[in-house]
Structures are given as structure tokens and as C-alpha cells.
Amino acid sequence: PVAFGLLVLALTGGTVAGVRLGPKVLPSLSRRRLLALALTFTGVALLATGLVPDMATMLLTAALAGTGAGVAANTGHTLLDLEAEEYRRPRLTDHLHAVVRAVIGLAAVAAPLLAAAIGPHRVESGKFVFAHGGAAFVLMLVGALLLPVAALVLAKTDDRSGVPLRHDLRDAVRGDEPTAAPAANGFFIALEGGDGAGKSTQAEALAEWIRAKGHEVVLTREPGATPVGKRLRSILLDVSSAGLSHRAEALLYAADRAEHVDTVVRPALERGAVVISDRYIDSSVAYQGAGRDLSPTEVARISRWATNGLVPHLTVLLDVSPETARERFTEAPDRLESEPAEFHARVRSGFLTLAASDPGRYLVVDAGQEPEAVTTVVRHRLDQMLPLSEAELKAREEARRKAEEDARRRAEEEAARKAEEERLERERQEELARLRAEEEERQRRELEEAQRR
């Protein structure tokens, strides 16, 4: 009974830990790939749990299996939300979660029955003895079944085909950004969020701060950062374009983006500048995908094509409730701002889902706070991510040289002081020796005097 209790504890405790760990595990790895890996891990751990005869090892493998299952559950949950969002069936998520729960419940009842039906078996061949109860066989069976499931998940849902899993995994373990990451030299930040989230204020504050570090900063926006973009923007936002077909709207935003990336963003990144874009691909996915009736994946695909796969190093999502945002509007609302509240609620959840699917590349900030507080949060994250500017590198080099110089000077001073001390000590010893000799001489003379007397 104790062993059984511990086994259950290891499995359930592991699962709880896994669910909590889920979002933090290899944050830069694609969630779809993580799901497949977590399933494989769980499968192998379950196989091992069934195979090993030793209790302590079994508890360890059971805890590992639990953790893997927890991570898989958490990741699967996030991905299910994403899928449901994609097919625009609000109840689909509930539905899928209910199915998953039913399957798990069924398995909890069926597994012990199956274990009882299999019963204990003993295989002996020479020195090799294999004696296990039905439960061990069931665990092994489930573990073995998980492996093809993992392979199927990877084959069906992989969103990074073309990039070997090995490379992705290596990058993720090292904490690097995924390999297909953006243009080389510069640093690309996208600011996203609903209307009235305070993106422009934050963009300016960040630009000023990054400039002060010595970087070239290009502050830009979508739609309308280029001459063609300006014309597209006026078509898109003019209230007289009401009734514009949704696909046309998506394509116009993508056209603006293509021109923007080609003529502004990429050249700046190639120069090594920091580019801050007020809105990027996620706005299309959230507004045209989640907000309208288009598939977010398709909208994202169009943008990916338009930008030739340029992904920001960091996307800052300024999250605020549409009600709070509305209070901030000062001008007459444009075509999109005039959309009903439900539209903006969908846009918001679209943004949040995107952020949840790739925690390594997103920073979600509560934009209901004071603007300064928001800037501080973003600055904190950028401090860890931004490469050093030429000026900072130079300052660092300077500081290093100065520290070396100081250390050398201190060492020299120390050596001189030591030499002086030694000299004084030598003199003191000599003086002492002289006095001692004098004293001896005096005593000798006194002795002689006494003998003479």
C-alpha cells in the first residue's frame, strides 16, 4: 500500500509540476514541437516505469512521466485554444476539453480493469527473469502507444517543417532564438495591442531610451509608413470604405506590410539599427483573423509571405480592456475603432492567444497602468535582450582597460610598499643585532672586570 501511494503521488505530483512548468519549458521552442516532445518523453518514461523492477527507480520514472504528461497537457490546452480561435467556433474549445476529460476519465476506469485482465506474468530465460503484474504491462502499453501519437502530432501539426527538430531543440536548450529568426544585425521590436492601448506613447518612450544607449533607432508604424502605405492607410481607415470585403482588407494590410518591410524595416535592420514598429503581423491576425471571419492561420500565412518571414525579436503586447481603451480616444473613431465592443473583445483575445503560443518571443504588459510603469516593464525585458550598442561596447572596453590599469597601479604601489616595509624591517633587525652585540660586549667586559677584580 505504501509503494502504491508513493507511485500515485509521483504520477500526480509530477503532473501538477508539469502543468505549472509548461509555459516555462524551452520557451523559444515551437509549442507544437514541444507537445510532440513531451508526449515522447512521457511515453518513454511510462515504458521505463513498467519495465524497471526497482521501486526507487520506478518512483523516479513515474514522476518524470507525470511531469511530461503535465507539460503535454498544458501545451495541448494552449494549442487547443489556438485552434478553436482559428476555426472561429467559440464552443469548440469547451467541446474539445470535454472530450479530453472524458477520454482521461474513461482511461482511469479502463486501465485498472485491463491490468486485472492481463494479470501477473513471468518470463524466464536463463538468468533473465521478467516478472511483472498487469499494471506494469498497462503502463508499458500506454507508453508504447504514446510514441506513435507523438509522431503523428509532429507530422500533422508541425509549424516549422524545413527546420530540423534537432536544431530547434539545440537552440531552445541554449536559450537562443529559433534559427529562422529575423535579419542578422539589428533588433526588431513590434508593439501590438488594441486601439487606445498606448502603443505610440510607449513606442516614443522606448525609442528615446534606446537612442540614449547609443543605438540608431527607427520608429515606424503600420499601416502607412511608406508613400504607398499612406495611400493604403487612407483607403483602409476611411469610414467611407465601410463594407470593404474582409479578404480585400487583409490583402491591403499585407500589401502595406510588404512595402514597409522591404523599404524600411529590412534595410534598417541590415544597417544594425533597432526598429520599433507600432503594429505588425499580429495586428492582422487579431483584427482580420480573430476579429473578422477569416482563418488566423491563413491571415498569418499571407503576412509571412508578404514579409518573407521576418519575425520580430520581441513582440510587446499592450493588453488593455476595450472599455478602458475607449475612454482614451480623443479623436473621432476611424473605421476599425467604430467596430462594436464584441469585435474589440475578440481582437484582444486573439492577441492574447498569439502571445500564449510563443511565450519566449512575447512580453504581455497590463496597459491599464500608468504609462511610466508600462515603460519600466518593457525596459526591464529589453535590458536582458538588446545587444550592446557600439557606444556601450566602447564604454565597456574603456572601463575594462581602466580597471586593468587601476589593478596594475595598485599592484605596483603594493609592491613598493612591501619593499619599503622589508627595508625598514631589515634595518630594525640590524639595529637589534647591533644592540645585542653591544649588550654582549658590555656583559663580556663586566665579566672580565669582575674576574680581574
Binding pattern for the stretch 192-211 against ligand TYD, x by CB under 6 A and - elsewhere: ---x----------------
* Residue 324 C-alpha from the chain's centroid: 28
Measured from the CB atom, the residue of 32 and 221 that comes closer to ligand TYD is 221
Shortest distance, CB of residue 334 to ligand TYD, whole angstroms? 6
Residue 298 binds to ligand TYD (criterion: CB under 6 A): no
Query: For 135, how many CA atoms within 13 A lie in the half-sphere containing its CB?
Result: 11
Interface pick for ligand TYD out of 15, 75, 283, 375 (rule CB under 6 A): 283
Q: Residue from 337, 368, 379, 395 that binds ligand TYD (CB under 6 A)?
A: 337
Is there a contact between 28 and 80 (Cβ–Cβ < 8 Å)?
no
> Residue 187, interface with ligand TYD (CB under 6 A)?
no
49 vs 277, beta carbon nearer ligand TYD: 277
Is residue 279 close enough to count as binding ligand TYD by CB under 6 A? yes
Q: Which region among 83-91, 176-184, 238-246, 283-291 touches ligand TYD (by CB under 6 A)?
A: 283-291
Per-residue binding string, ligand TYD, 209-238, x by CB under 6 A, is ------------xxx-------------x-
Q: Per rule CB under 6 A, is residue 85 in the interface with ligand TYD?
A: no
As a whole number of angstroms, the distance between CA 146 and CA 340 comes to 45
Query: 24 vs 85, 315, 345, 412, 447, CA distance in Å?
Result: 23, 17, 27, 50, 92
**Helix 55-86 with 2-21: angle, nearest 10 deg:** 40
Name the one range near ligand TYD by CB under 6 A: 91-99, 161-169, 279-287, 426-434. Answer: 279-287
Is the backbone of residue 130 left (phi > 0), alpha (psi -120 to 50) or beta? beta
Q: Which of 7, 10, 311, 336 binds ligand TYD (CB under 6 A)?
A: 336
Bond from prior residue into 223 cis (ω within 30 degrees of 0):
yes
For residues 269 and 286, give the distance between their C-alpha atoms in angstroms, rounded to a whole number: 25
Number of residues that bind ligand TYD (CB under 6 A): 14
Q: Are 285 and 253 a contacting pair, CB within 8 Å?
A: no
Q: SS3 for 91?
A: coil
Q: Which one, 137 or 287, has the nearer CB to ligand TYD?
A: 287
At residue 124, the 3 state secondary structure works out as: strand
Give yes or no for residue 319 binding ligand TYD (CB under 6 A). no
Contacts to ligand TYD from residues 104-123, by CB under 6 A: none
Least distance CB 283 / ligand TYD (angstroms): 4
Longest Cα–Cα distance of the chain, Å, equals 138
Closest distance to ligand TYD from the beta carbon of 281 (Å)? 7
DSSP 128: E
Q: Which H or E run contains 304?
A: helix 296-307
* Strands of the 217-221 sheet, one edge to the other: 217-221, 274-278, 187-193, 314-319, 362-366
The one segment of 105-113, 332-340, 354-362, 380-388 that binds ligand TYD by CB under 6 A? 332-340
Nearest by Cα to 264 from 228, 314, 317: 228
Closest-approach residue to ligand TYD (CB): 287
- Minimum CB distance to ligand TYD smaller for 262 or for 337: 337
Least Cβ distance, residue 390 to ligand TYD (angstroms): 32
83, 176, 177, 334: residue in contact with ligand TYD (rule CB under 6 A): 334
CB distance 371 to 202 below 8 Å: yes
Nearer to ligand TYD, 203 or 363 (CB): 203
Comparing CB distances to ligand TYD, the nearer of 246 and 381 is 246
User: For binding to ligand TYD (CB under 6 A), which residues are involved?
Assistant: 195, 221-223, 237, 253, 279, 283-284, 287-288, 334, 336-337
